[in-house]
Amino acid sequence: MAADDWDIDLKHAPDGNAGEVIDTMGRAAVLARRDAKRRGNVLYMPDQGEILVTGDVHGCRPNFERILAFADLEHHPDRHLVLHELIHGGPTDAEGGDLSWQLLEEAARLKIDYPDRVHILLANHDVAEMLGIQLRKGSINLTQSFAQGLQHAYGTQAAEVKRAYCDFFRALPLAIKTPNRVWISHSTPHLAALADFNYSLFERPLGDDDFTRESQLYSFLWGRNQDDMAARIFCRHVGCDILIVGHQPSQMGFKMPNSRHIILYSDNQLGRYLLLPLDQKVTQSGLSYRVAKIADLPRPDEA
């Protein structure tokens, strides 16, 4: 064992309960795979109730808490909640380790509590963790900080916990389709990637080949700057009229760069959410008026 491994063990008395977390992630993964609404990698929603849709949260705990409190799933039996890209960012521990793993674990517990109505969609940051791809934001190495946070919390069991996270990511659905023709996912491919895009990605089990940088899953989750043509082609193939995604930050917390996309960002004080009704016809412009600011919701301790 290298000298600095000893340093880490001596400095940090791990307080996370690795066994319990591994069990939680495993149970949440089984529930994600077994959702009765799931066919292939898509969840087909019922024609009643509503979905609270969010974009990237990136460890932003105040927004995460506001969204969960507002969702109030216990008292709204017809309400679904969509979460994605919860990790990488937000508060850090005393030594700069990322604490966003806490949000991931809380979301997994919520999936266990409300398995039919909490939907965590696969995002590219999750795949980056699976593949060991380094992600940066400005001067911060997000993946390195995430690894440090896990190390501080779980010590020698950090690698096992990380494996449980990755097994959970692998079980996640890619998208949601609603009866009123809305598609929800982390992103969609840009125009060039659509030329040979195989939509069977949404219907077949995912394998090791999908979790590579060369895959169509990669171009689906990492897609940016989709123009109107790309949006229309994708809509036609998946049988939807509106695409609600995350993945791209925006000055206003949301943007509509073409005639199909609504791009939500749920990180920081500009973060937005959208309450999407399932039982009525919707349009992109109509839904744009339903996009609201997370910061305007009360935090649970203020409610």
Residue with smaller CB distance to Mn ion, 162 or 247: 247
Spell out a b/e string for 27-61, using b for 16 or more CB atoms within 10 Å of the CB, else e.
bbbebbeebebeebbbbebeeebbbbbbbbbbbbb
Residue with smaller CB distance to Mn ion, 127 or 274: 127
Q: Report how far residue 282's alpha carbon sits from residue 61's, in angstroms, rounded to the nearest whole number.
A: 31
Residue with smaller CB distance to Mn ion, 22 or 263: 263
Pairing assessment for the beta strands 242-245 and 261-264 based on DSSP bridges: parallel
Span from 118-126, 151-159, 190-198, 275-283 in contact with Mn ion (CB under 5 A):
118-126
Residue with smaller CB distance to Mn ion, 57 or 99: 57
Residue with smaller CB distance to Mn ion, 124 or 284: 124
Q: Report how far residue 106's alpha carbon sits from residue 112's, in angstroms, rounded to the nearest whole number.
A: 10
Among residues 100, 124, 188, 226, the one that binds Mn ion under rule CB under 5 A: 124
| Closest separation in Å from C-beta 137 to Mn ion | 11
Quote the radius of gyration of the chain (alpha carbons, Å). 19
Q: Report how far residue 63's alpha carbon sits from residue 268's, in angstroms, rounded to the nearest whole number.
A: 7
233's enclosing H/E stretch is helix 228-238
| Closest separation in Å from C-beta 66 to Mn ion | 21
Q: How many chain residues bind Mn ion (CB under 5 A)?
A: 3
Interface mask toward Mn ion for 245-284; x: CB under 5 A: --x-------------------------------------
| Closest separation in Å from C-beta 5 to Mn ion | 32
Helix (H, G, I), strand (E, B) or coil at 215: coil
Residue with smaller CB distance to Mn ion, 57 or 294: 57
Residue with smaller CB distance to Mn ion, 84 or 117: 84
Residues 78-107 that bind Mn ion (CB under 5 A): 85
| Closest separation in Å from C-beta 125 to Mn ion | 6
Residue with smaller CB distance to Mn ion, 15 or 134: 134
> What is the secondary structure of 53-90 as a DSSP string?
EEEE-TT-HHHHHHHHHHH-GGG-TTEEEEEE---S-S
259 near 217, Cβ under 8 Å?
Answer: no
Which is nearest to 273 in space by CA: 290, 260, 256, 248?
290
Residue with smaller CB distance to Mn ion, 117 or 186: 186
| Closest separation in Å from C-beta 123 to Mn ion | 5
Q: Give the residue at shortest CB distance from Mn ion.
A: 247
Span from 121-129, 225-233, 251-259, 270-278 in contact with Mn ion (CB under 5 A):
121-129
Interface mask toward Mn ion for 27-66; x: CB under 5 A: ----------------------------------------
Which is nearest to 265 in space by CA: 7, 84, 108?
84
| Closest separation in Å from C-beta 85 to Mn ion | 5
DSSP classification of residue 92: B
List, in order, residues 6 or more apart from 7 with CB less than 8 Å away.
none
Provide the edge-to-edge strand list for the sheet that holds 50-56: 118-121, 79-84, 50-56, 272-277, 291-293
Interface mask toward Mn ion for 182-221; x: CB under 5 A: ----------------------------------------
Instruction: Provide the binding-site residues for Mn ion, judged by CB under 5 A.
Output: 85, 124, 247
